[in-house]
Amino acid sequence: MTSPPDRGKSLRAARPSGGVRWLAIGVFLAVPGAATAGAWFDDLEQALSFSSPGGNLRGRVSGTLDLEGHVFADPPGLIESDGHALFSPRLTTFLDAQLGPAVYGFAQARIDRGFDPGERSLEARLDEFALRFTPSRDAGVSLQLGRFATVVGNWTNRHGSWGNPFISAPLPYENPTGIWDNEPPATSTILLQWSHVLPGLPAPVTRVEKRLRVPVLWGPGYTLGAAVLGAWRDVRYALEIKQAGLSSRPETWREANSEAWAHPAVSGRLAYVPNPAWNFGLSAAAGSYLRPEAAATLPAGRSRGDYRQLVLAQDVAFAWRHLQIWAEIFAARFEIPGIGNADTMAWYLEASQRFSPQFQAALRWSQQVFGTIPEAGRAVAWGHEVWRLEVAPAYRFTPQVQLKLQASLQRGDTGNRRFGHGAAGQLTVRF
C-alpha cells in the first residue's frame, strides 16, 4: 500500500502537461450529471445577465471555452508550428446588449494562443466591438459602427466554435497564397518563389514566410469600419467600408492610425432569401492588400491604393430539417503594377447532417486554382492548385458541452509532400 508521502511523490512525478491540464478542466466541466450541470449553467446564465426594471436596457455575457488540439504532417492553413502537433485553448467571451428597440451592441474578447493558433503564450484581445442603430424595424435598415466581421459571404454566420460544423475555416478563408502584405513582389520570378512555384527562397525567409502570406479572406475579418445593413422584401443588403481589405491579417485589424485609413476597403453583399430554406448571395469587395508599413517598399510614384485586391463572390445556403448545405465561390484578383494581375478562384461545398439530437457529421470539399502571370516569355500559374477534403463528426453531451473531431486530406502546396493530412479535436463548453 502506498503511504501518503509516496502518493504525493508519485502525483508530482505524474504532473500533467499544460495541454493535459486544460483537457482535465474541460472534462471536469463536461462530466457532472447533466441535470446538475444544467442547473449550474442556468445559474451562471442568470448571474451573467442583467436587465433594467422595465427591460429597456438589458445585457448578457456569454462565451465558449475551447480546448483544441491539432496533429499534422505540416501545419495546415494559417497555423504556425515547427512541430507536428499543437494544443490551442481558447476562452471567448461575448457581450450582447440592447438599449430600447433601436440600439444593439456587442463585443467579443478572447484569450488564446493567437487568432490563428501558434506556438505562442496566451494573449488577451478584444476582437470585436460594435454598435448597431436601427431607427425602425419597418424601415428595414441599420447602421453599424465598430470592429466587426465582414458582410461578405455566408461563413461568418457560423464561424464560432459552437455553430461551426468544422474546427477549421474553409480553404478560401485560410489558405495562404503567394501574396505578401508587407511588400509587393518586384518581379514575377519573386512572386513565383513566394508562391512556391519556383525554388530559390533563401532559407531564412523560408522559415518565416508563412507569416507574410495572405489568403483570399483572412477568417471573418474583424476590421474597423462602418456598415449599412437591411432588408427589402426578400432581398438582404449589406455595405461596409473598412480600414483594411478581406485578405488583411489580424494585426492589421487592430491598427488605428491615419495611414491605416488612407486606403479603405469597400465590400457589399446582396442576398435573395425567398424563404428560410434558401439564401443566395452575391458579394463584391475592393481594397488594398498591403499593410501600411509596406508603403516604404513601394516603387516611386506608387501608393498602397495601386495594389488592390478585388473580389467577386457567390454563395448559397440551404437548410431543411436536419440537413444544412453551404457553398461559396470567390474570384479574387491581386493587382500588381509592373507584373500584372494575379488571379485565383477558391470554392467549397459543405454539408452537415444531424443524425440524432446529439450526433451530427459534416463533410467539406474545398479547392483553389490560380491564374497565370507572364514569366520569361510564357504564362505560368502563380500558385499550386490545392484541394482539401474534410470530415467532422460532432457529439453534444449536453446543451453546453460539445466534442468535435476533424480529419482532413489535402493535396497541393503542403511543403515537400504532395498530400498532407491532419486531424483535430475540439471540446467546447458554452456558457
Partner 1 sequence: MNLRGLTCVFALALGIAGAAPPAAVEGRVALAAARPLPVVNQRYEIVTRGGVLATDPPVAIVYLEGPFPPPVDPPVAEIRQKDLAFVPSLLAVQAGTRVEFPNDDDTYHNIFSFSRPKRFDLGRYRSDERPVPSQVFNQPGLITLRCDIHEHMRALIVVLETPHFVVTGPDGRFQLGGLPAGRHTLKAWIDSRTTREVVVELDAGKTLRVDFPGAGNPAGER
Closer by beta carbon to partner 1, 55 or else 83: 55
Compute the C-alpha angle 103/107/111, nearest 5°. 170
Cβ proximity to partner 1: between 42 and 251 the closer is 42
Phi/psi zone of residue 400: left (φ > 0), alpha (ψ -120 to 50 degrees), beta?
alpha
Stretch that binds partner 1, among 81-89, 146-154, 243-251, 293-301 (CB under 8 A): 146-154
Q: Which three cell numbers stand for residue 202?
A: 533563401
* DSSP line for 85-125: EEEEEEEEEEEEEEETTTEEEEEEEEEESTTTTBS---EEE
- Assess contact for 252 and 218: CB atoms under 8 A: no
Of the candidates 32, 74, 109, 140, which one interacts with partner 1 according to CB under 8 A?
Answer: 140
Among 1, 35, 203, 296, binds partner 1 (CB under 8 A): 35
Closest by alpha carbon to 393, among 365, 420, 353? 353
Binding mask 278-297 for partner 1 (x = CB under 8 A): --------------------
Nearest residue (CB) to partner 1, 96 versus 183: 96
Say which amino acid occupies 201: L
Binding status of residue 402 toward partner 1 by CB under 8 A: no
Give dist(CA 376, CA 267) in Å, integer: 36
Residue closer to partner 1 by CB (options 5, 55) is 55
| Residue 173: φ, ψ to 5° | -90, -5
Provide the mask over 169-198, with x wherever binding to partner 1 is found by CB under 8 A and - wherever it is not: ------------------------------
Minimal distance in Å, beta carbon 242 to partner 1?
15
Which range of residues in 164-172, 290-298, 395-403, 420-428 is near partner 1 by CB under 8 A? 395-403
Q: What's the CA gap between 269 and 156, in Å, rounded? A: 13
**Residues numbered 47-66 forming contacts with partner 1, rule: CB under 8 A:** 49-51, 55, 58-60, 62
Give the range of 34-42, 166-174, 253-261, 330-338 binding partner 1 by CB under 8 A: 34-42
Angstrom CA distances, 106 to 9, 22, 131, 167, stand at 48, 28, 7, 24
Number of Cβ atoms within 10 Å of the Cβ of 123: 11
Please, which of residues 90-109 interact with partner 1 by CB under 8 A? 94, 96-98, 100-102, 104, 106, 108
| Choices 190-198, 241-249, 288-296, 350-358; region in contact with partner 1 by CB under 8 A | 350-358
The answer to whether 39 contacts partner 1 (rule: CB under 8 A) is: yes
Q: Which backbone phi and psi does 225 adopt, to 5 degrees?
A: 170, -165
Contacts of 13-16 with C-beta under 8 Å, sequence gap 24+, read none
* Residue with smaller CB distance to partner 1, 70 or 269: 269
When asked if residue 46 is in the footprint of partner 1 (CB under 8 A), the reply is yes
Based on the shown chain and the rule CB under 8 A, indicate whether residue 132 belongs to the binding site for partner 1: yes
Distance, in Å, from the CA atom of 194 to the CA atom of 179, rounded to the nearest integer, reads 7
Q: Least distance from C-beta 162 to partner 1, angstroms?
A: 9
Helix (H) or strand (E) holding 388: strand 386-398
Closest to partner 1 by CB, 102 or 122: 102
Do the strands 417-430 and 378-381 form a parallel or antiparallel pair, or are they unpaired?
Answer: unpaired
CB of 395 to partner 1, least distance (A): 12
Q: Does 34 bind partner 1 (CB under 8 A)?
A: yes
Which residue from 128, 343, 375, 413 is in contact with partner 1, where contact means CB under 8 A? 128
Each as own residue / partner, the long-range contacts of residues 376-383 (CB below 8 Å, 24 or more positions apart, any chain) are 376/189, 380/188, 380/192, 380/197, 381/197, 382/178, 382/188, 382/191, 382/192, 382/195, 382/197, 382/342, 382/344, 383/177, 383/178, 383/195, 383/196, 383/197, 383/344, 383/413
Q: Is 186 helix (H, G, I), strand (E, B) or coil?
A: coil
Residues 198-257 that bind partner 1 (CB under 8 A): 229-231, 236-238
One of 3, 258, 275, 416 touching partner 1 (CB under 8 A)? 275
Separation CA 258–CA 18 (nearest Å): 41
Residues near partner 1 (CB under 8 A): 34-35, 38-39, 42, 46, 49-51, 55, 58-60, 62, 94, 96-98, 100-102, 104, 106, 108, 128, 130, 132, 134, 137, 140, 142, 148-149, 151, 156-157, 229-231, 236-238, 269, 271, 275-277, 319-324, 354, 356-358, 396, 398-399
